[in-house]
Amino acid sequence: MILRLGYDIQFQIPAPVTIVTLLNVHPSRAADLRAPDVLSVEPATQVESYTDNFGNHCNRFVAQMGPIRLSNSTLIHDSGLADPENLDAREVPVHKLPPDAIRYLYNSRYCEVDRLSMIALELFSDVPPGWSRVRAICNWVNTKVFFGYQYARPTKSALDVYTERFGVCRDFQHLAVTLCRALNIPARYATGYLGDIGVPPSDTAMDFSAWFEAYLEDRWWTFDARHSHPRIGRVLMATGRDASDVAITTSFGMTMLTHFTVTTDALPAPDAQSAST
């Protein structure tokens, strides 16, 4: 399956400002690209690319006063299969975890592990450890938290979500990540493309999506507390401790968003195209 990915993001800039973006497909999916994945900046400006401490592809540039447009359109091959599952995947004791995974057990900006530890134990200590426990956390968050864009708030933490029971996709993931970490399961926040492939189309505008990954057995596995069933066509862009590490744009000064669109489409199979011509 070939997916068309893209975005068109525009700002009005009142004064020159440095901007960092995480808008590229994650390096782990680079081999699947079927077209260049290059950030286009208009007006043209010098762009520096680098890899951050989490392994994400970043771009940095200085935006001058006036309008600026960030855009891209690319193609990527996808298996067309739903998120992989391993119902027998076991938890890894902390003393045997890879050193890089340990940081995903700690508190972070939006994930107050210490403040939710007792709650996590009360809710999930009786659930068998491993895949079943992470799945139980996802199901609990999915059923207890109500989704709505009107509930978005940039300062909302996992404890806020637990208390208020409202939020957007990033809030669902922050709460699930925190509950996993409180039970000594490394969990990291993820963001990327997730189109309405194999599911009824949403009546809201396409946006980038959030999910999370939990470390079980010997690898990171995809979980999603917002969507209760495995999905098709998920394309990773970045991972980090929480949303503060993977913001799609970070402006070190004033910017005003004036336009935002995201595209995630599955292209028709070649046989289908031939039949329609």
pLDDT bucket at 169, cuts 50 / 70 / 90: very high
Residue 276 within a domain = no
Residue of 143, 133, 168, 139 lying closest to 153 (CA atoms): 168
Nearest residue to 221 (alpha-carbon basis) of 119, 124, 89, 132 = 89
Q: Which of 88, 31, 65, 64 is nearest to 236 (CA)?
A: 31
Q: Is residue 85 part of a domain?
A: no
Tell me: do 57 and 99 sit in the same domain: no
Whether residue 180 is found in the same domain as residue 219 = yes
> What tokens does 43 get?
């007006």
Question: Residue 222 falls within a domain, yes or no?
Answer: yes
Task: Please say if the pLDDT value at position 29 is more than 90.
Answer: yes
- Asked if residue 168 has pLDDT above 60, the reply is yes
- Tell me how far apart the alpha carbons of residues 64 and 93 are, in angstroms, rounded to a whole number: 50
CATH number at residue 66: 2.60.40.2250
Do both 157 and 220 map to the same domain? yes
Instruction: Reduce the secondary structure of 84-144 to three states and give it as a string.
Output: CCCCCCCCCCHHHCCHHHHHHHCCECCECHHHHHHHHHHHHCCCCCCHHHHHHHHHHHHHH
Same domain? 58 vs 10: yes
- Kindly tell me if the per-residue pLDDT of 161 is higher than 80: yes
Domain that residue 32 falls in: 2-79+248-267
Partners of residue 190 on adjacent β-strands: 211, 239
In this prediction, residue 205 carries a pLDDT of 77
**Residue 149's pLDDT is what?**
87
- Give pLDDT tens digits for 179-229: 999 999 999 999 999 998 888 887 777 899 999 999 999 999 999 999 978
Can you give the pLDDT at residue 201?
80
Burial zone of 181 (CB within 10 Å; 0-12 exposed, 13-18 middle, 19+ buried):
buried
pLDDT given at position 105: 98
Within a domain: residue 84? no
Confidence of residue 270 (pLDDT cuts 50, 70, 90): low
Q: Is residue 86 part of a domain?
A: no
Per-residue pLDDT, 229 = 86
Average pLDDT on 55-65 reads 98
No. of helices (H) and no. of strands (E), the chain: 6, 14
pLDDT at 276 over 80: no
Has residue 6 been placed in a domain? yes
Instruction: Note whether 116 and 226 are same-domain residues.
Output: yes
Pair 159, 257 in one domain:
no
Give residue 69's pLDDT.
98
Task: Give residue 272's pLDDT.
Answer: 47
Residues 111 and 228 in one domain: yes
Tell whether 162 and 73 lie within a shared domain.
no
- Domains held by the chain: number: 2
Whether residues 203 and 133 share a domain: the answer is yes
43 assigned to some structural domain: yes
Closest CA to 135 of 212, 246, 56: 212
Q: Does residue 91 come out as left (phi exceeding 0), alpha (psi in the -120 to 50 range) or beta? A: beta
75-117, pLDDT tens digit by residue?
Answer: 999 999 999 999 999 999 999 999 999 999 999 999 999 999 9
pLDDT of residue 13 exceeding 90: yes
Same domain, 239 and 252: no
- Could you tell me the pLDDT band of residue 277, with boundaries at 50, 70 and 90? very low
pLDDT at position 273 is 46
Q: For residue 110, what are the contacts with CB-CB under 8 A and spacing of at least 6?
A: 156, 157, 158, 174, 242, 243, 244
CB distance 251 to 61 below 8 Å: no
98 and 226 housed in the same domain: yes
Report the relative pairing of strands 66-77 and 40-42 from DSSP bridges. Answer: antiparallel
Indicate whether 60 and 30 sit together in one domain: yes
Beta carbons of 168 and 188 less than 8 angstroms apart: no
Q: Is 275 within a domain?
A: no
Residue 74 in this model has a pLDDT that exceeds 80: yes
DSSP label of 184: T
Check whether 30 has a pLDDT greater than 50.
yes
Which of 20-24, 49-53, 189-193, 225-229 has the weakest average pLDDT? 225-229
How many Å apart are CA 117 and CA 171, to the nearest integer?
Answer: 18
CATH code for the domain in which residue 173 is found? 3.10.620.30
Average pLDDT over residues 64-76: 98
